[in-house]
Structure formats: structure tokens, C-alpha cells
Amino acid sequence: MTEYGKQLAAASTPIPGLVVWELPVHGDSRGWFKENWQREKMTAAGLPDFGPVQNNISFNDAVGTTRGIHAEPWDKFVSVAAGRIFGAWVDLREGPTFGAVFTCELDPSRAIFVPRGVGNAYQTLEPDTAYAYLVNDHWSPDASYTFLNLADETAAIAWPIPLDRAELSAKDAAHPRLADVTPVPPRKTLVLGANGQLGRALRAELGDAPHLEYATRADLDLASPALAGARRWRDYDTIINAAAHTAVDGAETPEGRREAWAANVTGVGVLAQIAAANAITLVHVSSDYVFDGTIDRPYREDDAVCPVGVYGQTKAAGDALVSAVPRHFIIRTSWVIGDGKNFVRTMAYLAERGIDPRVVDDQTGRLTFTSDLARGIHHLLTSDAPFGTYNLTGSGAAASWADIARRVFELTGHDPSRVTGVSTDEYFASATAAVAPRPRNSVLDLAKIGGAGFAATDQDDALSAYTRALAAE
């Protein structure tokens, strides 16, 4: 019997993400009225903002009509428009709760949110029952479905009307037992730029589970007009964009400018559209070059961007596009050091071969090792950190490039006084090719990411470990 006058309230279940909702129903002698789906109130009360795109209704004229157990690749908000049902839900997702069962009755005053991969079934308890559900994806012949037999002995669902007296389809009666069900994998994570320094660090950090996909430019080109249709994007939970045009000086040339805007803006814009349309979390790696480096304190996330070179302009434009995605992390970093050719490796090489370098001493910042950057991204994705922009660099005292070069010489057993400091203008005075302007101050404030529970590695500790690893090669 429908209960009138309840307050909107949510109750968790033994199945993670499966939540029962008590709905306010207002009735009198004429009938009743309810807000079956109210985004603002329900999201404020804890319902995921799951973005429904389709509303389906199943009408059942006979008591005992039984349907399920179906796990579709989308989330559902299930309610009853008329009548009453006994509902049964079985967790068919990969993980420790695989096979967990929850049952309850639903009527117009009670609904349930069913996350992707949880098997859904019901049995009508009254005639002329209408069962409605909102889903956040359109039906597709390419979608993958998982099923469980209604009579599975492991789930042992206590159907009010025994199945041998119930009305069910031959197809539902023939579904496999739990022992033969392949668990539903999590939605995929896609890492773009898999062959780059950060891409390789992300693979080392995240691993190679089946739901993790690593793509190079040859696999998925951000500048390709076919990007929007390149995947069934509803199967993805997260995209980590570690791909970018990073040739800072090259971006100052006509050809480089076009390439930088294509990869860092046009392609990122398409990614942003894909993420927004498919409830995907978009992680985008940005740069200290979005600032001009003229303020005399560390840059905060809310400081106005002010890029002075083409590369910085494209990164700032990409940030603006990503910031419109409901589920986004923009990671601003600086002075990235990873596997492959980089400043630290070059200084160690010069020290070993007796070459005394001239190194810029009027640009200040902190090194960011790709292992730390990957670790920070992983932390944000797994810690329920609020979406938004985060600075992520090494911690500790800021230093100039010349300071770091001297420290590399020292750590590798060479005389740091062999490094001569010069100004940026002096260093590039004889350059014959295009040179991009550099921020003099690249120090980023780390208070926000620290408040999210991430402790960045001290840059000197990381530098010491890195030079030891170089020596062992």
C-alpha cells in the first residue's frame, strides 16, 4: 500500500551504490501526486548525478509477472507508477561483493537507484502494475549485458510467488547460474599519450588490468575528426589526457603554432565534449606556462591565467574547455622529469664528460617527477577529492635551473662550481631559431592538493633517488 507523507530519504543496502529512496507522495480522495525524479533535491540528498537520457515503462497486467535478472551497462533509477512489486538485485560486478543480494518491495512511495552491473529483477504483487526506469544510456546492439538465472540457488531469492507458478519468459528462465556468470568489469580508464614520459609513469602506477587502456597517438589522434566516434564512450569512466604538443619553442613557428592548437585545444575540446556527454571524468595535465611568472609568490589554482607564449596560450585555452566538463581534474605542473631525455639526465651526462655548462639562473620553480605526478593523479581519482584544478609539483624549497644543475653535479660526485649561472636573455642571445618566452616564476602553491590528502615528494629527495638510478643504469 502506498504510504503518503514520507520525507525524501535515502537508505543504503549491502550492495555498494544500490540505494533505496523513500519518495514523498501527496494524496487525497482524488488520487495522489509525487515528484518521481527531481534532480536538484535528489542530488543534494546524495543521489549520483547520473544524467538520464531515456525513460522506459514496463506494464504488467497479471500478478506474478517476473522479469530479470538483467545487469545492463548503465545506471537506472527504478520506480513504480502504479501497483506494487517485489524487487531483487544481485551484484554481478567484479569485486568482493559479487553475488551479494538485496530484496525489498517497491510501490509509488519507494524507488531504488541501481548502478551499472547490478542485476535487476522484479515480480508484480498487484495487477496492472507499471514499472518505470530512467537510464543514462540509449539502447545499443553493441552494448554488453550480463544475466543471472531467476532460480539461482546461490542467490536463493525468496520470490513471494514461486517461480513455477509465476509468469516469466523462456529466455529469462534459461539464463546461467552464478557460477557461470562472467562478472561485469568496471568502466574503462583510457590513458592518452601512453608512450610519453607521463604515460609510461601512469602505466607503472595504475597497472595493466583489463579495464585499463593505454593509447598512443597512432591508436587515437586528438587532432582526428573521427575522435568523437572512435570508441563506445559510455563504456569509459575516466580519460587521462597525458598527450599534448609540448615543443615550447617549436610552437612559436607557423607550423608549430598550428600543431599546438590542434592538439592542445581542438583535440582537447572534442575530449571535453565526449566526457561531458558520457559522464566521464576527464583528467587533463596542464602547465605553469599558463602564467606569465611575474608575481612574487607561488601561483594558486585561482590565479588568473596570463600566458605569454603560444604553448602557454594553447594550454590555457585547453584548461578553459576542460573546466566546463562536470567531472574534471585539471593538473597544473612544472619542470617535468621522467623516463627518457630530460634536464637532469643531460646535466649528469655533461658532468660525467667534463663539460661545464651555462645554465639559466633567473627562472625559479620545482621539479616534478612523473612517478609523483602519476601517483597524485591516481590519488585524486581514488580519494573522492572534489573535482577542479590542482597544482601538482615536487615539494620543498624552490630552486633555479642553475641550482638544480649544481645539485646534479654534486649528487653525481662532481664539482658544482663547474656550473655557471646566466640570465635567460644571455642564454638565448645567440639563438637563431624561435624561442618561447619562459615564466621567471614557475613555483606552484601545493596547499589545495595537500588538503586533498596528497603529500608531494620533496624535489631534492626525488632528485637524489633519480640520480642514483641513473648511476645504476
Give the CA-trace dihedral at 116, 137, 169, 57, to 10 degrees.
Answer: 110
Does residue 325 fall inside a structural domain?
Answer: yes
Q: Are residues 432 and 313 in the same domain?
A: yes
**What is the structure's pLDDT at 433?**
85
Distance CA 62, CA 79 (A): 18
Cell numbers given for 423: 640570465
pLDDT tier for residue 405 given thresholds of 50, 70 and 90: very high
Of 61, 53, 62, nearest to 133 (Cα)?
Answer: 53
220-225: long-range contacts, CB 8 A cutoff, minimum separation 24: 220/190, 220/192, 221/267, 222/192, 222/262, 222/263, 222/266, 222/267, 222/268, 222/270, 222/271, 223/262, 223/263, 223/266, 223/267, 224/267
CATH number (domain holding residue 106): 2.60.120.10
Ranges of beta strands (E only) in 310-454 are 328-333, 336-337, 358-360, 364-365, 368-369, 388-391, 399-400, 420-422
When divided into structural domains, the chain yields a total of 2
Cell numbers given for 149: 538465472
Q: Are residues 24 and 55 in the same domain?
A: yes
Does residue 4 fall inside a structural domain?
Answer: no
Q: In this structure, what DSSP letter does residue 365 have?
A: E
Q: Residues with Cβ < 8 Å from 355, sequence gap 6 or more?
A: none
Does residue 172 fall inside a structural domain?
Answer: yes
**What is the structure's pLDDT at 344?**
97
Q: Out of 180, 201, 220, pick the residue that ends a domain.
A: 180
**What is the structure's pLDDT at 372?**
97
Q: Are residues 306 and 369 in the same domain?
A: yes
Does residue 1 fall inside a structural domain?
Answer: no
Q: Are residues 301 and 422 in the same domain?
A: yes
Half-sphere exposure of 289 (CA within 13 A, CB side): 25
Q: Which of 70, 211, 349, 378 is catalytic?
A: 70
Q: Out of 146, 180, 214, pick the residue that ends a domain.
A: 180
Cell numbers given for 355: 663539460
Q: Are residues 209 and 262 in the same domain?
A: yes
Residues 341-375 as b or e (16 or more Cβ within 10 Å = b): ebbbbebbebbeeeeeeebbbbbbbbbbbbbbbbb
Q: Are residues 222 and 370 in the same domain?
A: yes
- DSSP class per residue in 66-97: EEEEEE-SS-EEEEEEES-EEEEEEE-BSSTT
Whether 4 is catalytic is no
Is the previous residue joined to 69 through a cis bond, with omega within 30 degrees of 0? Answer: yes
pLDDT tier for residue 201 given thresholds of 50, 70 and 90: very high
Q: What is the pTM of this model?
A: 0.89
Mean residue pLDDT across the chain: 95
Quote the domain boundaries for residue 128: 9-180
Tens digits of residue pLDDT in 117-154 = 999 999 999 999 999 999 998 887 777 889 999 999 99
Does residue 274 fall inside a structural domain?
Answer: yes
Whether 414 is catalytic is no
Q: Are residues 176 and 192 in the same domain?
A: no
Q: Are residues 141 and 214 in the same domain?
A: no
pLDDT at 1 > cutoff 70:
no
Residue 67 CA from chain centroid, whole number? 34
Percent of the chain with pLDDT over 90: 88
- What's the per-residue H, E or C state across 39-53? HHHHHHCCCCCCCCC
- Do 225 and 201 contact (CB within 8 A), yes or no? no
Average pLDDT over residues 9-36: 93
- Do 394 and 457 contact (CB within 8 A), yes or no? yes
pLDDT at 384 > cutoff 70:
yes
Q: Are residues 167 and 213 in the same domain?
A: no
Burial of 428 (0-12, 13-18, 19+ CB in 10 A): middle
Residue count of the chain: 473
**What is the structure's pLDDT at 396?**
97
Which strand (E) or helix (H) includes residue 26? strand 25-28
Q: Are residues 227 and 125 in the same domain?
A: no
Q: Which of 131, 133, 311, 390 is catalytic?
A: 133
Distance CA 311, CA 246 (A): 7
Q: Out of 180, 199, 224, pick the residue that ends a domain.
A: 180
pLDDT at 320 > cutoff 70:
yes
CATH number (domain holding residue 444): 3.40.50.720
What backbone phi and psi angles, to 5 degrees, belong to 86?
Answer: -100, 120
Which strand (E) or helix (H) includes residue 34? strand 31-34
pLDDT tier for residue 5 given thresholds of 50, 70 and 90: confident
Does residue 105 fall inside a structural domain?
Answer: yes
Q: Are residues 138 and 237 in the same domain?
A: no
Tens digits of residue pLDDT in 204-254 = 999 999 999 999 988 988 777 888 888 889 889 999 999 999 999 999 999
Residue that the C-alpha cell 575530449 belongs to: 271
Does residue 453 fall inside a structural domain?
Answer: yes
Of 161, 200, 139, 137, nearest to 63 (Cα)?
Answer: 161
Average pLDDT over residues 51-68: 94
Q: Are residues 198 and 74 in the same domain?
A: no
